Structure 1
Amino acid sequence: MSTTFNDRDTLWELIEDIKFAMFTTRHANGHLHSRPMTTQNSKLDEQTSLWFFVGRDNELVEDIATDPQVNVAYGDPGSDTWVSVSGEARLVEDRAKKEALWSKMTEAWFPGGIDDPNLGLLEVQITHAHYWDVKDSKLVQLIKMATSAVTGNPPKHMGETGEVRMK
């Protein structure tokens, strides 16, 4: 089943418990480059943005200066939830937002705290997301795949897939 809708709450429900994402940028040489990043939001904000702390000396900052189009991929194999978020990234100077998102965990990466000169705040304004969400148990999935292998017919109804458009 595939649906398209404009519902940031559904998107957030899918990713809120997945703390780490693979953040993909296009390098100046044209290659795609992914790295693990920690989403800082506790909810999607009014602008439907994802927030990340990043070192200003990180290659990612150079990449988004060249091409701000990014992908942020979330996956939770335990719940069979997969989300691909497309958006536009930018470095933001907003001390109040840094303070609101700051945590002890962040301090491990930026020991200078909010005033660490290397601390950058990265905003990804979401334009589109695509998700795959399987509700069946692993056993039911296995039975469907085994039946498919025996019958030669592709498995059906293996979960929901849908799109969320923000713009």
Structure 2
Amino acid sequence: MSKDKTPQQKLWEMIKDIRFGMLTHRHTDGGLHSHPLTTQNKELGEKGVLYFFVSRTTEVGSRLRVDGNVNVTYSDPHKDHYVSITGTATISEDMDAKQRLFNPMAKAWFPKGAGDPDLELVEVHITSAEYWDVKESKPTQLFKMAAAAVSGERPTMGEHHEVSVGAH
């Protein structure tokens, strides 16, 4: 990780242009269930909180109220950015936050705006994250993998870090 960037800044840099995160939570039967959700953040503040809007008519909010342990993953194969975030999700009724985060794309799902009674705000308080940021070009990656296959040694490509992010 760059010495002049905080973990939050590095994470935000990697995910800010990725439209959807896959939020994984525990299903009532104990299995894991994932949903593609649009990240509503305009930045990732010092507290390390991700925001998503969900509909009250889905099971997401009710499941998160029972078990808020979640994982959110982001992937941008074109830039070779891969991020896995661990955190605790809560449902917030903070109208100021809903209004601040509401945007024209959200209006397609919630036509009555930030005050839509169907809108629930999910806050994911990040505790840790892991990321892979491959900086080498595709030809260089292929060359390194071929050389590793011949030599029997693992290729070294890009950055891989595990970081603590939010307040604990």
Say yes or no: TM over 0.5. Answer: yes
Three-state SS of the structure 2 residue aligned to 1:89 is strand
Structure with the bigger RCO (C-alpha within 8 Å, sep 6+) is 1
How far 1:136 sits from its partner (Å)? 0.3
* Cα distance in 2, alignment partners of residues 151 and 46 from structure 1: 44
Partner in structure 2 of residue 85 of structure 1: 85
Partner in structure 1 of residue 11 of structure 2: 11
* Cα distance in 2, alignment partners of residues 100 and 60 from structure 1: 22
Three-state SS of the structure 2 residue aligned to 1:86 is strand
Q: Give the structure-1-normalised TM-score.
A: 0.92
Three-state SS of the structure 2 residue aligned to 1:163 is strand
How far 1:7 sits from its partner (Å)? 2.4
Q: Give the structure-2-normalised TM-score.
A: 0.91
Among all aligned residue pairs of Structure 1 and Structure 2, give the percentage whose two residues are the same amino acid: 50
How far 1:31 sits from its partner (Å)? 0.4
Read off the aligned partner of 1:45 and give its amino acid letter: G
| Unaligned segments of structure 1, at least 5 residues | none
Partner in structure 1 of residue 119 of structure 2: 119
- Give the root-mean-square deviation of aligned CA atoms: 1.8
| Unaligned segments of structure 2, at least 5 residues | none
How far 1:6 sits from its partner (Å)? 6.1
Partner in structure 1 of residue 158 of structure 2: 159
Read off the aligned partner of 2:85 and give its amino acid letter: V
Answer whether contact 2:8 2:46 (CA < 8 A) is retained. no
* Cα distance in 2, alignment partners of residues 88 and 158 from structure 1: 31
Verify: 1:95 aligned to 2:100, yes or no: no
Read off the aligned partner of 1:117 and give its amino acid letter: P
Answer whether contact 1:87 1:127 (CA < 8 A) is retained. yes
Read off the aligned partner of 2:93 and give its amino acid letter: E
Partner in structure 2 of residue 60 of structure 1: 60
* Structure 1: 4+ residue segments shifted above 3 A: none
